[in-house]
Amino acid sequence: MSSAALGKRAGRPAWQEPAKPVTKAAKGVALAFICLLVLVPFLVVISTSLASPDEVVANGGWVLWPEHPTLDAYRDIFRGGQVTKAIGVSIGVTLVGTLASLVATTLLAYALSRPQLVGGRKILLGILFTFLFPPGMIPAYLVVKQLGLLDNYAALIAPVMINVFNLVIVRGFIQGLPEELFEAARLDGAGEWQVLWRVVLPLSKAVLAVIGLFYAVSYWNAWFHASIYMSDSKFPIQQVLRMYVIQGAQLADPSAADAAAVSAPQTVRMAVVIIAVIPIILVYPLVQRFFVRGVLTGAIKS
């Protein structure tokens, strides 16, 4: 354990031999190439959002590097206050939703992972069934409506509270914890709650961080339920973003649809894309610190 801890600080564990220069160079080139592939298109989106509308139009819609950078597009977006509110809605839904999902998923996964639970396997199979046969749009809508959740922020959380994929992963993880730990805890006189609190949760920090990230991102990125269950004053940012970005893009029939309706300029559309990305990418570094080596090793040994 000490060597792992030391190694982490040094960047390279003691047992690992130094990398050959050739390998290093090859990895460097590969990573640089990958980053470039990702970043250039991203840069185009950012540049376009900073360019003047005339420059964008003259370039056919996209700008690689704005000649006269301006924040006008961003100013336009924040002027009405709707985008600010939508970001607030999304942050709220993401925070509350992630918390609710984590709690519900962990509890369920824990219960289903305990072998003594009567009927646990049947319940798990039932849940897998729902994963394979997701509800159709209209039945799901009717359920939400009957619960009185229409136009209620809960409608953005409750119908997607537990993701089967995440559940299966957490369950598998808990199941994989050494049985001796549970027995040891029980011998100490711990009940199920204490086992959960004092043994399972501390050891599951990493998996919960990852699942939490998955939930947070899916809450953040979701728009479909908002489009069906919510009215426009309660739209989250992704739905507002869609209204900026794809309005008018897929007209049913240009002559029948109102062709006079003005779509947002490209600069504004790209600015919204950037605005919608920024809050959520700030979450990742928080999760990243769980990806260091030996998190579990140390925990189990102590």
Partner 1 sequence: MSSELSRRSVFRAIGLGATAVAVPSLISACGDGSGGGGVGNAGTEQAAWPTYTAAKVPAPDLPGDGNDVQNGYTKYPSQVGTATNGKPGDGSVVKAVVITYGTPPGPKETNKFLQAVNEALGIDLQLTVVPDADYQAKMATLMAGDDLPDIMNIGGGYILPREADFVASKCADLSEYLSGDAVKAYPNLANIPTRAWKDMGRVKGRIMGVPVERPAPGNIFFANREMWKGVGVDDKAFSAGGWTSTDLLTAAKALTKDKKYALGASKSGNFGLGVHAPAWGAPNLWKNDGGTFSSYFTTPEFKQAVAFMRDLFAAGVYYPDALTVSQVDAKTHFAGQITGSLTDGFGAYSQMVTSAKGAYTVAPALPYAGGSAGGKIFAARSVFGYTVLKKAAPERIKLLLRVLDFLAAPFGTKEYELVHYGVEGTHFTRDAAGNPVQTDLWKGGENKTNLPITYLCDAPQVLFYPGVSPEAIALMHSFEQKTAPNLVRNPAYGLVSDTASKSEAAIRKTITDVLNSVVMGRASLDDWDAAVKRYKADGGDKIGEEYGKEYAASK
Partner 2 sequence: MTASTIARNTAAAGGDGAGKKPPRVPRDRTSLWRKLVRDRLLWLCLLPGLAYFLIFHLGAAFGMVIAFTDYWPGISVAQSNLVGVETFQKMFGDPDFWHAVVNTVEISLLQLVFYFPVPLGLALLLHSLTSTTIKRLVQNVVYLPHFISWVIVVALFQQILGGAGVVNGFLADHGLHTVDIIGNPDAFKPLLIAQVIWKDSGWGTIIFLAALAQVDDTLYEASAMDGAGPWRRFWHVTLPGIRSVIVLLLVLRLGEVLSVGFEQLLLQRDAVGPGAGEIIDTYVFYKSLGGGGDFPLAAAAGIFKGVIGAILVYAANKVAHRLGEQGVYR
Nearer to partner 2 by Cβ, of 39 and 259: the residue is 39
- The residue range among 17-25, 124-132, 194-202, 259-267 that interacts with partner 1, by the rule CB under 8 A, is 259-267
Q: Are 268 and 76 in contact (CB under 8 A)?
A: yes
Give 234-237's long-range contacts (Cβ < 8 A, gap of 24+): 234/89, 234/151, 234/153, 235/86, 235/89, 236/86, 236/89, 236/90, 236/93, 236/156, 237/83, 237/86, 237/87, 237/89, 237/90, 237/275, 237/276
Nearest distance, CB of residue 226 and partner 2, angstroms: 14
Count CB atoms within 10 A of the CB of residue 30.
10
Name which of 138, 120, 140 is nearest 130 in CA terms. 140
Question: Do 160 and 98 touch, CB atoms closer than 8 A?
Answer: no
Sign of CA dihedral 274, 279, 280, 282: positive
Shortest separation between residue 275's beta carbon and partner 1, angstroms: 13
Residues between 272 and 301 with contacts to partner 1, criterion CB under 8 A: none
Smallest gap from Cβ 297 to partner 2, in A, equals 5
80 binds partner 1 (CB under 8 A): yes
Query: What is the closest distance, in whole angstroms, from the C-beta atom of residue 261 to partner 2 in the complex?
Result: 18
**Residue 59 binds partner 1 (CB under 8 A):** yes
Q: Which stretch binds partner 1 (CB under 8 A): 34-42, 106-114, 246-254, 278-286?
A: 246-254
Pick the binder of partner 1 from 253, 282, 285, 302 (CB under 8 A).
253
Which residues are at the interface with partner 1 (CB under 8 A)?
A: 54, 56-61, 76, 79-82, 86, 137-139, 141-143, 145-146, 227-228, 231-233, 235, 239-240, 242-244, 246-264, 266
